């Protein structure tokens, strides 16, 4: 049976863990040749071994513009094209705004927002050369609503949301065949939760996601990376050919209230 992204070449940043890993595996399952990048080499190589086939792992800090040039160059050399970019790498630093250091503020902006900008900037020429593609930027429900102790994180994710819409319109105006959308996960079980709440005074332990979601999420349960990967696969595939500049919320109803 034909896969939904058969023969397409995909790049997934932060693909060694959590949602990125889920997306890389799901895209590969449906026929994509996947390049996983991350700064956790051991885990990234493990993901690629698990996928098998033509998947590749590259070490890549998304905040480093030179590294983006090398990664895109490597994708072009190995596969000759790029059809799908999932800008997923991200960090979450929970902290009251009065206690957040400027260094942490800048670090979070660098990974979550600069990283997405650099990905779009460096991937677009190769995508355009191949006649188009799909860029999926992972934002968050924190890019739609505010949350206490997450002001810095919300600022980055809100930025990703509107950056996505602006680039989508820029690509549409050029008729370059590139669609650009954002995905907004709710509470998904991944290692990021060790820092999202771990940095909050009085909450040095990661939160109990089951207790939290049963209280606040209308569907009453937490999500898993595969729940996000299904949405990313759809946006990456030609099934969503008429979809650009939109935001796909996958949150168990969290932001529906
Ligand atoms: P995760 O910690 O499991 O994965 C994040 C990955 O990004 C890690 O593998 C990490 O090594 C990588 N990374 C961090 N800094 C990097 C850098 N400078 N360069 C390259 N890679 C880097 O967390 P996750 O939950 O899977 O997060 C993935 C994305 O989903 C993030 O953008 C996050 O903000 C977003 N998100 C997660 C949730 C959730 O509940 N888990 C909710 C909303 C949004």
Q: For 178, how many CA atoms within 13 A lie in the half-sphere containing its CB?
A: 28
- The single residue of 153, 163, 193, 234 carrying the catalytic annotation is 153
* Average pLDDT estimate for 126-148: 98
The closest-lying atom of ligand 1 relative to the alpha carbon of residue 89 is 7
Q: How confident is the model at residue 126 (pLDDT cuts 50, 70, 90)?
A: very high
* pTM for this entry: 0.97
- pLDDT given for residue 207 in this prediction: 86
**8 Å CB contact between 160 and 143:** yes
| Ligand 1 pocket test, candidate residues 13, 14, 247, most atoms within 8 A of CB | 14
What is the fold, at CATH topology level, of the domain defined by 9-186+228-249? Rossmann fold (3.40.50)
Question: Which residue has a Cα nearest atom 12 of ligand 1?
Answer: 14
Q: How confident is the model at residue 200 (pLDDT cuts 50, 70, 90)?
A: low
Ligand 1 centroid – CA 190 distance (Å): 8
Model confidence over 224-250: pLDDT tens digits? 999 999 999 999 999 999 999 999 999
CA distance 199 to 196: 6
Ligand 1 centroid – CA 183 distance (Å): 13
- Nearest Cα to Cα of residue 133 among 247, 2, 7, 13: 7
Indicate whether 50 pLDDT > 60: yes
Direct distance between the N- and C-terminal alpha carbons of the chain, in angstroms, rounded to an integer: 40
**8 Å CB contact between 18 and 188:** yes
- pLDDT given for residue 18 in this prediction: 98
CA distance 20 to 25: 9
Ligand 1 centroid – CA 110 distance (Å): 13
CA distance 187 to 216: 10
User: 3-class DSSP state for residue 241?
Assistant: coil
* Average pLDDT estimate for 173-184: 99
Q: How confident is the model at residue 203 (pLDDT cuts 50, 70, 90)?
A: low
* Average pLDDT estimate for 41-68: 97
- Nearest Cα to Cα of residue 132 among 164, 182, 174, 70: 174
| Ligand 1 pocket test, candidate residues 48, 89, 207, most atoms within 8 A of CB | 89
Q: At what angle do helices 41-51 and 18-29 cross, to 10 degrees?
A: 20
- pLDDT given for residue 206 in this prediction: 77
Q: Concatenated DSSP letters for 181-199? A: EEEEE-SB-STTHHHHTTT
153 is catalytic: yes
Cross-strand bridge partners of residue 13: 37
In degrees and rounded to multiples of 5, residue 44 shows phi and psi of: -60, -45
The set of residues, in sequence order, having a beta carbon less than 8 Å from that of 142 and lying 6+ positions away, is 150, 153, 154, 157, 158
- Record the tokens describing residue 210, joined without a space: 């089951």
- Nearest Cα to Cα of residue 136 among 48, 29, 31, 5: 5
Indicate whether 197 pLDDT > 90: no
Indicate whether 25 pLDDT > 70: yes
Give the H/E segment covering residue 214: helix 209-216
Ligand 1 centroid – CA 174 distance (Å): 31
Ligand 1 centroid – CA 240 distance (Å): 24
- Record the tokens describing residue 41, joined without a space: 């080499």
Q: For 180, how many CA atoms within 13 A lie in the half-sphere containing its CB?
A: 28
Question: Which residue has a Cα nearest atom 6 of ligand 1?
Answer: 14
- Kindly list the domain boundaries of the chain, sorted by start residue: 9-186+228-249
Indicate whether 215 pLDDT > 80: yes
Model confidence over 71-124: pLDDT tens digits? 999 999 999 999 999 999 999 999 999 999 999 999 999 999 999 999 999 999
Q: How confident is the model at residue 205 (pLDDT cuts 50, 70, 90)?
A: confident
| Ligand 1 pocket test, candidate residues 16, 18, 223, most atoms within 8 A of CB | 18
Which protein residues touch ligand 1 with a CB less than 6 Å away?
Answer: 13-14, 16-20, 38-40, 60-63, 88-92, 111, 138, 140, 185, 187-188, 190-192
Indicate whether 171 pLDDT > 70: yes
Indicate whether 201 pLDDT > 60: no
Indicate whether 2 pLDDT > 90: no
In degrees and rounded to multiples of 5, residue 164 shows phi and psi of: -60, -50
Whole-number average pLDDT of the chain: 96
* Average pLDDT estimate for 206-226: 95
Indicate whether 204 pLDDT > 70: no
């Amino acid at each position: 049976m034909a896969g939904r992204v058969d023969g397409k070449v995909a790049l997934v940043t932060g693909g060694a863990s959590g949602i990125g890993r889920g997306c890389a595996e799901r895209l590969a399952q449906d026929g994509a040749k996947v390049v996983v990048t991350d700064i956790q080499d051991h885990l990234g190589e493990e993901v690629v071994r698990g996928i098998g086939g033509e998947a590749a792992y590259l070490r890549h800090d998304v905040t480093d513009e030179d590294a983006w040039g090398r990664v895109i160059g490597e994708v072009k050399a190995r596969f000759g094209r790029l059809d799908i970019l999932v800008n997923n790498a991200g960090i979450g630093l929970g902290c009251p705004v009065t206690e957040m250091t400027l260094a942490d503020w800048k670090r979070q902006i660098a990974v979550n927002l600069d990283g997405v900008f650099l990905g779009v900037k460096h991937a677009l020429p190769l995508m355009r050369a191949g006649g188009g593609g799909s860029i999926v930027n992972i934002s968050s429900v924190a890019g739609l609503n505010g949350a206490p102790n997450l002001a810095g994180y919300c600022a980055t994710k809100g930025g990703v949301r509107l950056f996505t819409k602006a680039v989508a319109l820029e690509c549409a105006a050029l008729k370059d065949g590139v669609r650009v959308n954002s995905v907004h996960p709710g509470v998904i079980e991944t290692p990021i939760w060790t820092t999202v709440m771990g940095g909050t005074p009085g909450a040095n332990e990661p939160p109990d996601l089951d207790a939290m979601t049963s209280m606040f999420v209308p569907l009453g349960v937490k999500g898993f990376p595969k729940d996000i990967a299904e949405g990313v696969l759809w946006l990456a595939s030609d099934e969503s050919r008429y979809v650009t500049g939109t935001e796909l919320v996958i949150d168990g109803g969290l932001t529906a209230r």
